[in-house]
Amino acid sequence: MDIKTVILAAGKGTRMKSETTPKVLHEIMGKTLLGYVLDNVKNISDENYVIVGHHAQEVTDFVEKNYKNTKTILQSPQLGTGHAVSMVCPQLENYNGLVLILCGDTPLIKEDTLKKFVEFHKEQNSDITVMSTIFENPANYGRIIRAKDNSVECIVEEKDATQEQKAVKEVNAGIYCLDWGKIKSAFSQLKNNNAQGEYYLTDIISWGKINKLNVNAYILENSDEIYGINSRSNLATAAKIMNKRNLNKYMEEGVTIVDPDSTWISEDTQIGQDTIIYPATYIEGKNIIGKNCKIGPCAHLRGDVEVCDNIKIGNFVEVKKAKINSNTNVGHLSYIGDSELGSNVNIGAGTITANYDPLSKTKSKTILKDNVKIGSNSVLVAPVTVEEGANVGAGSIITKNIPQWALAITRSPLKILNNWVKSKLK
């Protein structure tokens, strides 16, 4: 059965206190909140619709640049979550498959969880399935109210709940699976007679019951997965939850994380067995790290980095958009950006690839072939290629291509003024 996804991403995110960045484009380890959600449905859904509103153009630009099977639809004015989903009705007028509805500010939801959710919907022959979870302190969440047969009777928002309903600990996780052919007419019938004066998506539950549909709730065991981002504090908390999850996965796969409390690694990084990640290392974005590598301490991989086997990246090294082939060492206090390093290369401490021209705002590439040796405190001004086996003397500034097995050195003659210090002291 076909599955399409609707992602709610129109909210302003007032508590984020940001004038320039919409809530769903805030990042965790180099990846936007919306990006996490879209990546987690890419193997489930054949087409995605992102409902945009606040900073609509920025969100649309992000989607169009990064996700080919995703369209954005403007919600204006913004009259609630039910109204948001109704924006997609014209696009899905003749569609009768499943629709998965998620929020764009819940980056911790897992692909595997969503697959189990959809399977539960199918197994129960549900028309509407809502994801729920159990909170000991359910404040601020909509409550799941169940009927005597354990099906879902309705969802009551906290602002509209009675004291008895507020005592319910099963809450709405904000994720739905709908049999669209049976449910789409609900979105033209929702009412806004509530405390907020909005059209609630949650009201499709009671609508479904009135129309004799099969309505169920899938209880999510790990409630962390539906943690929503509404503030910078929430963002930091979600980042810690995600990072702990990532580090545990890498350690289970045979990677040594010397100090998990100070190490950050994105979920889009692949790491081979027996690699050691030393303390205070930060790895963001998409990267591939091979086997038997040593990274850090205090290293920073900024994304689009491919590191082959048996690589050493020393302390206080920054790497961005670079490929480093096997058996190569990058010494401490170095920057390697927009570069390709061959095998058996040695980068001395303090080496800089000068890849950015601030006048033209362009970046150029540095290529070091196999067996190249770069002396400490050197600057390689891109675009530049150092051919196989060439050496660069310490303290050199390289602005031209260097041929094979040559020595390149730019260094002023050393002057020694005997007794100069004593003469000054007199």
Q: Per the residue annotation, which of 54, 55, 121, 332 is the catalytic one?
A: 332
332 is catalytic: yes
| Per-residue three-class SS string for the chain | CCEEEEEEECCCCHHHCCCCCCHHHCEECCEEHHHHHHHHHCCCCCEEEEEEECEHHHHHHHHHHHCCCEEEEECCCCCCHHHHHHCCCCCCCCCCCEEEEEECCCCCCCHHHHHHHHHHHHHCCCCEEEEEEECCCCCCCCEEEECCCCCEEEEECHHHCCHHHHCCCEEEEEEEEEEHHHHHHHHHCCCCCCCCCCCCCCHHHHHHHHCCCCEEEEEECCHHHHCCCCCHHHHHHHHHHHHHHHHHHHHHCCCEECCCCCCEECCCEEECCCCEECCCCEECCCEEECCCCEECCCCEECCCEEECCCCEECCCCEEEEEEECCCCEECCCCEEEEEEECCCCEECCCCEEECEECCCCEECCEEECCCCEECCCCEEECCEEECCCCEECCCCEECCCECCCCEECCCCCCCCCCCHHHHHHC
Residue 199's alpha-carbon distances to 31, 81, 404, in angstroms, are: 31, 6, 70
> What is the distance between the alpha carbons of residues 3 and 180, in angstroms, rounded to a whole number?
10
Beta-strand pair 356-357/27-28: unpaired
Structure tokens at 32: 């936007």
Catalytic residues: 332
